[in-house]
Amino acid sequence: MRSERHTKSGFRLLQSFNLHGNRFREDFMNDMRILAEIRDVNIARIIAIVEEEPFSAIFEYGELGDLSSFLKNRDRDAPTSYECSLNLITQIASGMKYLESLSVPHCDLAARNCIVCKDLLIKVSDQAMYCSKYDNEYYVDECYAKIPLRWMAWEAVLSRIIFPVYLYTKGKRSCQSDVWSYGVTIWEVLTRCEDVPYANLTSEQVLENCGLWYHSLDSGGKRKCPRILEQPVFCSDDLYRLMLRCWCKRAEDRPSFQEIHCYLKKLTLD
């Protein structure tokens, strides 16, 4: 076991991860080792890694829980203000900007994977997939792997589920795919995580929708546009335009996290 000093923040021991084969074990351990070396105010630290059965890790855990639960519970007493929401997503962008500077893709960015510390300090984490709390938010493939389907960029879905061969060409894990997920995370924050993205679609329909980004024409020759998340009620036009840029079809047309963070800082000052 490799460990760090105890921090003032709480931490959570992840449930044993059911590893189906060496590939999943290697992916898990590689991700945990990378995160263990990262130091940033908006990135949750890994306190310890268990490198033998049962494979697991202990994450820094915020006093106020994960962001998804925080927003749902907070709204019962007092609605989260737009200014507060803007502060939350700006902090997430700051943490992702740091990962981007290291060329480290997250691949599961969502409100459930952000923790809330005292004074509303937000830290990007990576524990939800290895816990049972949010099992209903993941799609399980034929290899029993959890996939954050509703948060993923279309090209990431193609590489992972629909056309596995795509992985070896354009579908590699990337920070540009994280930008797409970040746009979905903004939507979550502004809707107070009241429901999952595309709640009115089945998993199969979400998969079909991802395919529409790749195939612009249906069998009848009619143009069929892919669906995108609608503008939340508590969302400015400026912020929704940013979300739409995060969902550009071409990954290279999406803004970097550096650009996103700078833009949000300007919105905060306006």
Q: Write out pLDDT tens, residues 47-81.
A: 888 777 777 778 888 899 999 999 998 756 566 78
Angle at 112 between CA 109 and CA 114, to 5 degrees: 70
Q: Which fold has domain 65-268?
A: Transferase(Phosphotransferase); domain 1 (1.10.510)
Reported confidence tier of residue 223, pLDDT bands at 50, 70, 90: low
Residue 217 or residue 163, greater confidence: 163
Rounded Cα distance, 154 and 137, in Å: 17
What residue spans define the domains of the chain?
Answer: 12-59, 65-268
Distance in angstroms (rounded) separating the CA atoms of residues 84 and 72: 14
Tell the residue number behind the tokens 């890694």, with chain if given: 49
User: Average model confidence (pLDDT) for the chain?
Assistant: 84
Given this model, what pLDDT does residue 208 score? 92
Pairing of strands 139-140, 121-124: unpaired
For the annotated catalytic residues, the residue numbers are 108
Q: What is the rounded distance in angstroms from the CA atom of residue 77 to the CA atom of residue 193?
A: 15
In Å, how far are 14, 31, 35, 37, 55 from 27, measured between CA atoms?
Answer: 16, 6, 12, 16, 12
pTM above 0.85, yes or no: yes
CB 107 within 8 A of CB 175: no
**Rounded CA separation 83/194 (Å):** 19
68 membership: H or E segment, kind and range: helix 67-77
- Specify the higher pLDDT residue, 29 or 265: 265
Higher per-residue confidence, 31 vs 205: 205
What is the structure's pLDDT at 168?
37
pLDDT in the model for residue 31:
76
Tell me how far apart the alpha carbons of residues 247 and 241 are, in angstroms, rounded to a whole number. 10
Q: Which amino acid type is present at position 83?
A: E
Q: With pLDDT > 90 as the criterion, what percentage of the chain qualifies?
A: 56
List, for residues 126-138, the tens digit of each pLDDT value: 888 877 899 999 9
Bigger pLDDT: 112 vs 62: 112
